Amino acid sequence: MVRQMIRKVRVMDPGDTDLLMGTLMDINDFTDANKDVLIAGGVPATGRPVLMGITKASLETNSFLSAASFQETTRVLTDAAIRGKKDHLLGLKENVIIGKIIPAGTGMARYRNLEPQAINEAAYLAPEQEETENAPVEEAVEIQVEETVE
C-alpha cells in the first residue's frame, strides 16, 4: 500500500520531453519518458514525488476494476467508460473480482508453460539413506530388520 501511495510524480520541468509541467503521473511512465529523451541526447524532465493518501492512492490505480471495488464505484466505472479505458488484469484484486486465476503462485504467466522435470533423488539423499532408498523393497526390509535386531 505504501508503494501505491508514493508512486506518483509531479512534473516540475518538462525538459525536452512531451510532458506538461504540473502533470501528476506514474513514476514508471516518468522514468520511461526520461530514458527516451536521454537516449536521443535531450534534457530529461525533473519531477517531485507526491505522497497520496490511502483513499486517493487506491482510486488512482491503473486498474479501474480495482479502483471501482474500493470506493466511488459509479464515478470510477463511468470515467473508465467515457475514457475507453482497458484493464489488463495484471493485479490480484481485479483477477479475483472477475473470477480468474490470480497472477501469483501457480497462476504466474512465466510458469504457465513449464513442464515438470524428473529429478535425480539420489543426489539429495545422505549416503546411508542412499543404500536403503535405492535398494529393492525386499532388500530394504531386510536391511531395516537387520539394523533393528543388532
Residue-wise pLDDT for 23-66, tens only, equals 888 888 889 999 989 998 889 988 988 877 666 655 667 788 88
Rounded-to-integer distance, Cα 138 and Cα 136, Å: 6
pLDDT at 131: 54
pLDDT at 144: 45
* All three cell numbers of 107: 497462476
Of the listed ranges 21-25, 26-30, 110-114, 138-142, the least confidently predicted one is: 138-142
C-alpha dihedral, 87 to 88 to 89 to 90, nearest 10° = -130
pLDDT at 82: 93
pLDDT at 16: 84
Rounded-to-integer distance, Cα 127 and Cα 135, Å: 13
What's this model's pTM, rounded to 2 decimal places? 0.45
Average pLDDT, the chain: 74
* Strand-pair category, 24-26 with 8-13: antiparallel
Instruction: Spell out the domain ranges in the chain.
Output: 2-87, 120-150
Please count the residues of the chain: 150
